[in-house]
């Protein structure tokens, strides 16, 4: 199979309600697009969620790291490309590249996924998926950004709390992956976005939250524009996700 | 000009992170699509925001009413059509139809827009826009839903408050029109969405809110699945918008 067949390419546009005060696409919306493109790519190659669901399996997003030199401007077209970098027994690495309207690469992303059995919620063996067919799509396209790191948050008191509402909940009944990103970005004052630029965002998804859960947000400032955030279910409760947010 | 040239037709798909717990497109996302399609339609016909901005004018959304027999399901394609019903001196009525993947009309929407001068913020005369050229696009396509009504809210105490954050703010520095819809939908418990179906949503946009504004949400239950909501800047402050929300 050619490298080109292994890479999915999707054209998008930065819609007016998807840009922030600066007129640039928000990272939450970009995250949404990346995850959609992952879905398109998998579906077109026979291992999308719909097919997996029939076999009682589904994909679970474990980690996501997005690093952007710049964000598309309102109304600008851009392209997302995605491919599989590695397949291990329990995880697969899927990478992304974002290209601007002039064909210039403006950013990359990395994601890590597991497949679980819908009945047992236990991880499944990816190497046996479609008789190992997923391995045919492994591609050596470069992705010149660091892998997601381990994030540790030490703050003892939450800086914000909110209750998971209707708009937070996805079709699986969980708080949706993109909403966590938006809620974490909302921890920072607008002045920080004015003075610096969000360069990199990493997220590790740890456990699911549900409608009515109280989400507590803990935040460490690591210096140099770097912040680490942790979302817990209730003050001091179970960790839902952890993020590393780097402004430049 | 044929009626067909007057109507803009746009194909869309219900993305996974744009559906709610029931697997149907959320009304906030549909509202976003409608407003985007309005923008495409206007731009293609020479009276889009970019062109107007050059001439120091912009469109302002005054009212929106959406009424749906059903919502597209996750992954389903659907079509939005939009056209201009009326042009008055200070307002224009733009209507929408939503068609499902099988070509069946599943809902309609109505919107009312004003054009303002960006310097004076005063309304401009639409009949003189492009020498009255906008009138050429007036179309008699039917839109069999009621016009937005006047909403009055009597509740004396807010049921919820929130502070406008980074994700709420659009490129104009205002809380974006779609976020108000989402915040209002979040006033209702998930059980209401389980037991009833959101049929109609009306919004009147009254004044702009900004980053850091405290938004207070007032809610009247009118019976029969109807609710009326008002968003004010701070408790008892200036009205930002009013909505009528009808579940069936």
Q: How far apart are CA A248 and CA B228, in angstroms?
A: 44
Select from B18, B74, B171, B193 the residue whose CB has the most chain A CBs within 10 Å, as the one to mutate to test that interface.
B171
Distance from CA of B241 to the nearest CA of A (A): 18
Q: What is the pTM of this model?
A: 0.95
Is the Cβ pair B193, A28 closer than 8 Å? no
Is the Cβ pair B15, A36 closer than 8 Å? yes
Select from A11, A17, A38, A64 the residue whose CB has the most chain B CBs within 10 Å, as the one to mutate to test that interface.
A17
> Which residues of A sit within 8 Å Cβ distance of B?
15-23, 26, 28, 32, 35-36, 39, 49-50, 74-75, 165-171, 173, 176-178, 182, 185-186, 188-190, 193, 211-212
Is the Cβ pair A167, B186 closer than 8 Å? yes
Residue A132: predicted pLDDT? 80
Q: How far apart are CA A124 and CA A116, in angstroms?
A: 5
Give the residue-averaged pLDDT of B37-53.
89
The complex's ipTM works out to 0.93
Give rounded-to-5 percent helix, strand, coil for chain B: 25, 40, 35
Residue A100: predicted pLDDT? 98
Residue B177: predicted pLDDT? 95
At residue B128, does pLDDT exceed 90? no
Q: Please answer whether residues A243 and A202 qualify as being in contact, where contact means their C-beta atoms are separated by less than 8 angstroms.
A: yes
b/e sequence A167-180, b meaning 16+ C-beta within 10 Å: bbbbbeebbbbbbb
Give the residue-averaged pLDDT of B79-108.
97
Rounded to 10 degrees, what is the CA torsion of A193, B176, B152, B88?
140
Which phi and psi angles does B56 have, rounded to 5°?
75, 25
How many contacts, defined by CB atoms under 8 Å, are there between A and B?
97
H or E element: which one contains B230?
A: strand B226-233
- CB within 8 Å of A1: residues ≥ 6 apart: A136, A137
Is the Cβ pair B36, A26 closer than 8 Å? no
Residue B200: predicted pLDDT? 98
Q: Please answer whether residues A78 and A101 qualify as being in contact, where contact means their C-beta atoms are separated by less than 8 angstroms.
A: yes
At residue B133, does pLDDT exceed 90? no
H or E element: which one contains A16?
A: none
Residue B213: predicted pLDDT? 98
Question: What confidence tens digit (pLDDT) does each residue in A105-150 have?
Answer: 999 999 999 999 999 989 999 998 778 888 999 999 999 999 999 9
> Which residues of B sit within 8 Å Cβ distance of A?
15-23, 26, 28, 32, 35-36, 39, 49-50, 74-75, 165-167, 169-171, 173, 176-178, 182, 185-186, 188-190, 193, 211-212
- CB within 8 Å of B198: residues ≥ 6 apart: B27, B68, B185, B245, B246, B247
Which tokens is A163 given? 């209750």
* DSSP code, position B176: P
In DSSP notation, B72-126 reads: -BTT-EEEEEEEEEEE-SS-EEEEEEEE-TTS-EEEEEEEEEEEEETTT--B--G
b/e sequence A50-75, b meaning 16+ C-beta within 10 Å: eebeeeebbbbbbbbbbbbeebbbbb
Q: How far apart are CA A226 and CA A27, in angstroms?
A: 16
Mean pLDDT of chain B, nearest integer: 95
Q: How far apart are CA A118 and CA A116, in angstroms?
A: 6
CA nearest neighbour of A115 among A62, A60, A63, A51: A60
When CB atoms are compared, the residue of A21, A50, A74 closest to B173 is A21
At residue B172, does pLDDT exceed 80? yes
Residue A227: predicted pLDDT? 98
Is the Cβ pair A171, B28 closer than 8 Å? no
Distance of alpha carbon B123 from its chain centroid, rounded? 19
| Residues of B in Cβ contact (< 8 Å) with A18 | 32
Residue B175: predicted pLDDT? 97
Considering chain B, what percentage of its residues have pLDDT values greater than 70? 100
DSSP 3-state of A160: strand
CA nearest neighbour of B214 among B176, B162, B142: B162
CA nearest neighbour of B59 among B36, B85, B82, B79: B36
Residue B5: predicted pLDDT? 87
When CB atoms are compared, the residue of A16, A176, A185 closest to B167 is A185
Is the Cβ pair A20, B171 closer than 8 Å? yes
| Low-confidence stretches of chain A (pLDDT beneath 50) | none
Q: How far apart are CA A105 and CA A128, in angstroms?
A: 34
Instruction: Round the CA-based radius of gyration of chain B to a whole number and report it.
Output: 18
Q: Which has the minimum average pLDDT: A4-8, B10-14, B98-102?
A: A4-8
Which phi and psi angles does B15 have, rounded to 5°?
-75, 155
């Amino acid at each position: 199979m050619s490298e080109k067949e292994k890479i999915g390419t999707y054209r998008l546009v930065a819609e007016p309600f998807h840009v922030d005060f600066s007129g640039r696409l928000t990272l939450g919306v970009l995250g949404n697009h990346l995850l959609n493109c992952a879905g398109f790519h998998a579906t077109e190659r026979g291992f999308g969620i719909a097919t997996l669901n029939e076999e009682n399996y589904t994909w679970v997003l474990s980690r996501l790291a997005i690093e952007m030199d710049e964000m598309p401007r309102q109304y600008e077209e851009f392209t997302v490309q995605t491919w599989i970098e590695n397949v291990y027994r329990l995880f697969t690495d899927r990478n992304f590249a974002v290209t601007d309207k002039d064909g210039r690469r403006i950013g990359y992303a990395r994601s890590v996924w597991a497949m679980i059995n819908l009945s047992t919620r236990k991880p499944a063996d990816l190497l046996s998926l479609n008789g190992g067919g997923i391995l045919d799509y492994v591609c050596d396209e470069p992705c010149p950004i660091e892998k997601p790191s381990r994030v540790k948050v030490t703050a003892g008191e939450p800086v914000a709390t909110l209750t998971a509402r209707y708009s937070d909940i996805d079709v699986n009944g969980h708080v949706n992956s993109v909403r966590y990103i938006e809620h974490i970005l909302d921890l920072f004052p607008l002045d920080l976005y004015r003075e610096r630029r969000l360069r990199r965002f990493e997220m590790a998804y740890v456990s699911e939250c549900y409608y009515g859960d109280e989400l507590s947000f803990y935040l460490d400032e690591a210096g140099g524009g770097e912040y680490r955030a942790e979302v817990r279910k209730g003050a001091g409760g179970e960790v839902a996700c952890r993020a590393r947010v780097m402004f430049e």
